[in-house]
Amino acid sequence: MSDDNNAYWRANIRLVTWCLIIWALVSFGFGIVLRPLLSGIRVGGADLGFWFAQQGSILVFLALIFFYAWRMNALDRQHGVDEE
C-alpha cells in the first residue's frame, strides 16, 4: 500500500473511532451512567437522562450517520477516491 492509501485509511479509522466514542458516550454514558445526575433537568415532561435513553441517543446516532457520510465524501475527494 502506498503512503496515500495508509493516510486515507488512518483518517477513515480515526473518523469511525470518534463517531463510536460519541455514540457510546451519549447512549451509555448519558442514558445509563449519568442518568442520576441528569434526573433534575426536565425535557418535554421527562428527565434528561430518560430522554437520552429513549430518544436522544437515537437522534445523535442519526446525526452521526449524516455527519459520517458528509465527512467521508470530503475525505474521498481529498484523497482522489470519490465517485464521479
Cα distance between the two ends of the chain: 23
Predicted confidence pLDDT, tens digits, the chain (84 residues): 677 789 999 999 999 999 999 998 888 888 788 888 878 888 788 888 888 778 888 899 999 999 999 999 999 999 888 876
Asked whether 32 and 25 are in contact (CB, 8 A), the reply is no
Biggest alpha carbon distance in the chain? 55
Tens of pLDDT, residue by residue over 13-36, are 999 999 999 998 888 888 788 888
